[in-house]
Amino acid sequence: MRHLTTPLRPSALRPPALGPPALRLFVLAVLGCLSGTAALAQGTPYPYVGLGLGQTRGGLDAQRISDSVVAPIVGGFGSQTLTSDDRDTGYKVFGGYQMNPWLGVELGYFHLGKQRFTNTTVPLGALQGQLRSQGVNLDLVGTVPMTTNLSGLLRVGVAYARTRAEFTGTGAVAVTNPTPSDRSANLKLGVGLQYAFNPSVLLRGEFERYRNSDAVGGHGHVNLLSASLVFPFGGAPSAVRRTAAPMAMPMAAAPMAPAPMAAPLPAPAPPPVIVAVVVPPLAPAARRVTYSAESVFGFDTTEVQPAGQAALDSFSAELAGTSYSNIQVEGHTDRLGSSAYNLTLSQQRADAVKAYLVSHGKLDPAKVQAVGKGEAMPVTDAATCPGQRQSASLIACLQPDRRVVIDVAGTR
């Protein structure tokens, strides 16, 4: 609640609202960004929906509004007390499209609750006012990765809102227009944090400022502090999966005893002859395990995710008791993007897997080699996945090419 004592004053000049031409320019900018932003070579864009709930706090100029709606009287009015209640509950529903790890576009509906005030006047009277705003918004949402699961959010957009007001006068106060309303498009800004509980559920905490009309020719703002649940559709990395089943390590065969030699009769039996059967050592058994790149790493990153860590821990446990001569970790990418970038990314991912196996799996670093193959050894071909222009369908088709392969040579 805010309390002030001030005389009624003429309406202050306000900056003009962001009109329909500015809205059209912003929409064109969004469409240009959509057409100009190519999907990254490693990963797939995804749509999402969400729901947010929180507290609103308004910034209306109650005194200016009072000056605009109270009918003048001879001698004028004076304001004795002015109290306002500008907090309420707000909510929003939205859907969006994450174009790449750093940029998305979002369309939503919002309701910013109510803002109320009471102005007690001299001569004796009172003006009671109530404003409520709701509308739709179109935003560009920037994402700044901070850790594997935590990201920062920055947003800028346009909010097209309708503000409706209700004014009631008592005593000496007469209201010229008791139910004004106004529609306008205005700037909207926001910051926040996003945490990924798992690939299908994200949590956002955000602070957003909506600039809006006060329904009587001026403009103010409403702040919304909210928590939102976001549900991606197929965009987050899938659960760790193996595309090739591990081959079982063969056990060494026990040596066969020599057949007994028959002694001629009636000659006495010769002394027993002991024959040593030498079993040649088994050649190292080949074993290959393949992981999808998206199941081990974050979107276009080289940091091993928790799901990928669990898969590599399981692999290390299976090697317990195995005498291996060599382990080779190969990183592979698809053909999208430049060859130099893909070769660097594949080497960095192979190095990350080796580092994890050595530090957490306790493998001998001298026996583990990391090699980046880039796009040189694809699983798909041009007939299966035709085209060179990056698109969501082509990126999905080339998913088998993005992988990490671990080759083991050894015996148990």
The domain 285-411: what is its CATH number?
3.30.1330.60
The position carrying tokens 């594997």 is: 148
Q: For the chain, what are the domain ranges?
A: 2-232, 285-411
Q: Which pLDDT does position 251 carry in this prediction?
A: 47
Distance of CA 314 to the CA centre of its chain: 27
Q: Which pair of tokens denotes residue 158?
A: 């346009």
CATH number for the 2-232 domain, one of 2.40.160.20, 1.20.120.420, 3.30.530.20, 1.20.140.10? 2.40.160.20
* pLDDT tens for the 412 residues of the chain, in order: 444 434 444 333 343 444 455 455 555 544 444 443 333 334 568 999 999 999 999 887 878 887 877 877 655 667 668 788 889 999 999 999 999 989 999 999 999 999 998 888 887 888 889 999 999 999 999 999 999 889 999 999 999 999 999 999 888 888 888 999 999 999 999 999 999 998 899 999 999 999 988 888 888 889 999 999 999 997 554 433 333 444 444 444 445 555 555 555 556 656 654 444 444 554 445 678 888 877 787 767 888 888 888 888 888 888 777 777 888 999 988 888 888 988 998 899 999 999 988 888 788 898 889 999 988 999 898 888 988 878 888 888 888 888 888 888 875 5
Task: Indicate whether this model's pTM tops 0.75.
Answer: no
β 323-332/368-374 pair status: parallel
Closest CA to 139 of 82, 174, 79, 94: 94
Q: Check if the beta carbon of residue 125 is closer than 8 Å to that of residue 171.
A: yes
Q: Which pLDDT does position 85 carry in this prediction?
A: 87
